[in-house]
Amino acid sequence: MVAVLRGLRLRDLFAVLVVLVFMFPLFWWVLASFKPYTAIFSRIPNYFDFAATLDNYRVALLGASRINLEQGVGGQTGGASSYYSIPSILDSIIIAIGSTVLAVLFATLAAYALSRFPIRAKKHVVFFILAQRMMPPIAVAIPLFFIFRDIGLRDTHIGIIIAHTLINLPLATLLLKSFFDDVPRDLDESAMIDGASRFTVFWRIVLPLVRGGIAATAVLCFIFSWTEFLISLQLTTSIRTIPVKITTFVTSTGTEWGLITALGSAALVPSFIFILLVQRHLVRGLTLGSLKD
């Protein structure tokens, strides 16, 4: 311990301090989810001077009635309350998994072609795919609202899945292309000389080698869909993904901070686990694969 302290330099202190500052909003958020109603609203910041409670989680995740909890009745109302969020969590899971599977599937095929075939004007094709990413979500949401209304996809899981897939495709394609580029072309060519078809080479030889890259791409697509807000807000009314559901807790009669922080904290768990798993590939993902890390 003493040895550790002696090795400490001023720079280490600064580094820890900066990271603590960045962690504070998260800490305050999670802390608030365990506070009873009154402790959240104290003017002087209340760090640990309260009786920690799981009531907020009981109301948001288990559908308990807050009135009953406050009066000590403790009855479960099983989803009667509008704060019951399990349906929203299910909506989010369906949409995030659906759009991740679609985006990774389509992008893997396209990325392999972009990596391996001599395509004319390849640079322009890549830029065209990247340009899809520049579309402001609102510019996508307005026409899709009408198109989905006409073909019956408005307020359906499939509609949001399609929209999220579309927005994820540029990231997934460019990212996977950079992973495919890492696999030597000679491998494909020697296998093809041995009589394997293109698809066999892709399926049996190249794909197993980029499994890690595909997993990282899938995680980044999942997180995008899990956190996306505007499109879900504008294209749905009965399906509410978690970010949209949370904002409905800000009501004209007051903001349910306890429930907001409880649901918000719960929604962070999968993202945090996934992002820590794919740390290594994060930089590539965030720069759409344009930089090798």
Partner 1 sequence: MNKNGGTEGVTAVVAGQHGRRQFLVLPRWFTSDHPLPWLAPLFALIAAFGLYPLGYALWLTLNQRNPYTREMEWSGLDQWARALGDERMWNALMVTSIYTVVCLLVQVVLGFVIALLLDSERPGYGVLRALMTLPLVVPPAVTGLMFLLMEDAQFGVLAYYLDVVGLADPSQPILGNIYTALPGVMLADIWQWTPFMVLIILAGLRALPKEPYEAAAIDGASYLQSLWYLTLPMLGRVVAVAVLIRTIDLFRIYDYIYTMTTGGPGTATETLSFYAGREFTTANFNYASTLSLITLILLNVVCFLFIRVSRVKF
**Which of the residues 116 through 145 are near partner 1 (CB under 8 A)?**
117-119, 125-127, 129-145
User: Around Cβ 116, how many Cβ atoms within 10 Å?
Assistant: 19
Residue 169 contacts partner 1 per CB under 8 A: yes
Asked whether the beta carbons of 159 and 153 are under 8 A apart, the reply is: yes
Site string for partner 1, 230-269 (x = CB under 8 A): x--xx-------xxx-xx--x------x--xx--x--xx-
Q: Which residues contact 238 (CB under 8 A, 6 or more apart)?
A: 155
Q: Locate 109 and state its tokens.
A: 């095929």
Distances (CA, A) of 261 to 54, 68, 80, 264: 12, 20, 20, 5
Task: Specify the residue for token string 């299910």.
Answer: 90
Residue from the set 68, 94, 106, 154 that interacts with partner 1 by CB under 8 A: 106
Site string for partner 1, 13-52 (x = CB under 8 A): -xxx-xx--xx-xx-xx--x-------xxxxxx-------
Q: How far is the CB of 74 from partner 1 (least distance, A)?
A: 28
Q: How far is the CB of 75 from partner 1 (least distance, A)?
A: 29
Stretch in the footprint of partner 1 (CB under 8 A) among 50-58, 60-68, 75-83, 161-169: 161-169
Angle, helices 257-277 vs 86-116, to 10°: value is 30
Which of the residues 206 through 225 are near partner 1 (CB under 8 A)? 223
Residue 279 contacts partner 1 per CB under 8 A: yes
* Number of residues binding to partner 1, judged by CB under 8 A: 104
Which of the residues 50 through 89 are near partner 1 (CB under 8 A)? none
